[in-house]
Amino acid sequence: METLPEVVQGGGLIFLGFFTGAYGALVGLGGGFVLVPVLLMIYADTFKDPAIVTAISLTVIFLNSVSASWAYARMNRINYQVGIPFAIATVPGAILGAGATTLVDRHTFILVFGLFMIGMAAFLFIKPARGQGGNDETEQKTADPDGWAGWKPRVSTGQFATGLVGSLLVGFLSSFLGIGGGVLHVPMMIYVLHFPVHVATATSQFILAITSMSGAGTHLMTGTLAQGAAQAVFLSIGVIFGAQAGAHLSNRLHGVWIVRSLALAIGVVGVRFVYSAIIT
């Protein structure tokens, strides 16, 4: 029978997973920026190998994105015409990123990228996009779950090519820095492709479900996840339900506030990178 501390710990992980899933689904991110620092702090003495925390985080991110994608698919908010090719484009970038870890000065890169993300967060917070081309009409569709069924992207060849190159970069940075791609994919779809905010966040979750599958599967096959299986189970319970809640909550929020919530997440990641670069 479980002791009280174990029960409390399990309940805390379920709550953490629920918050991660809800917030991640709302802004189009996997939630690793929340999970990793918290897990490293809580289990500093339990998991000596950081790879275990990474394995737990990737598994939970995968389940979060799958749960959110399922909810958004039922709302007709995922754009598969862009989501599938963008997800495929991240693969070669991830391969290049893995190889670059031994060729690029990681310390300087993390510092510069962290400052860039802080600047991006400030821009998103001050000038959040309202929807496609700034048209409030797209935001009004959120009241109707089927409101996006008739929406079609007007993406030029140049914009699509830019998106593919951007996805290649996302794959590189995800592999090199260990971050999810949503922090770049969502702003790119909103500001470059002029997607409505609600469609951009949903499509980002779909892309993340595909791209995070390989990382989670690798840790599962190598046995790294086995050492943190109990924690992963509790977090997964919370994140699956949290993602559903976050997806439905997004229907009640204007795109401006979703972008500002995304800006907060990007700012937190940027500050973490800058802090990490300064103290090491």
Q: Can you give the three-state secondary structure of 68-99, one letter per residue?
A: HHHHHHHCCCCCHHHHHHHHHHHHHHHHHHHH
**How many Å apart are CA 210 and CA 244, to the nearest integer?**
18
Whether the per-residue pLDDT at 136 is higher than 60: the answer is: no
Decide if 68 contacts 242 (C-beta within 8 A). Answer: no
Decide if 249 contacts 26 (C-beta within 8 A). Answer: yes
What integer pLDDT is reported at residue 71 of this predicted model? 95
Q: Which residues contact 11 (CB under 8 A, 6 or more apart)?
A: none
What integer pLDDT is reported at residue 4 of this predicted model? 45
109 torsion bin: left (phi>0), alpha (psi -120 to 50), beta (else)? alpha
**pTM greater than 0.75:** yes
Whether the per-residue pLDDT at 150 is higher than 70: the answer is: no
In the DSSP assignment, the letter for residue 44 is T
Q: What is the pLDDT of residues 4-41, one digit of tens each?
A: 467 678 899 999 999 999 999 999 988 887 888 888 77
Supply the mean pLDDT for the chain.
Answer: 82
**How many Å apart are CA 144 and CA 70, to the nearest integer?**
17
Decide if 181 contacts 208 (C-beta within 8 A). Answer: yes
**How many Å apart are CA 258 and CA 108, to the nearest integer?**
31
In the DSSP assignment, the letter for residue 1 is -
> Which one is predicted more confidently, 28 or 174?
28
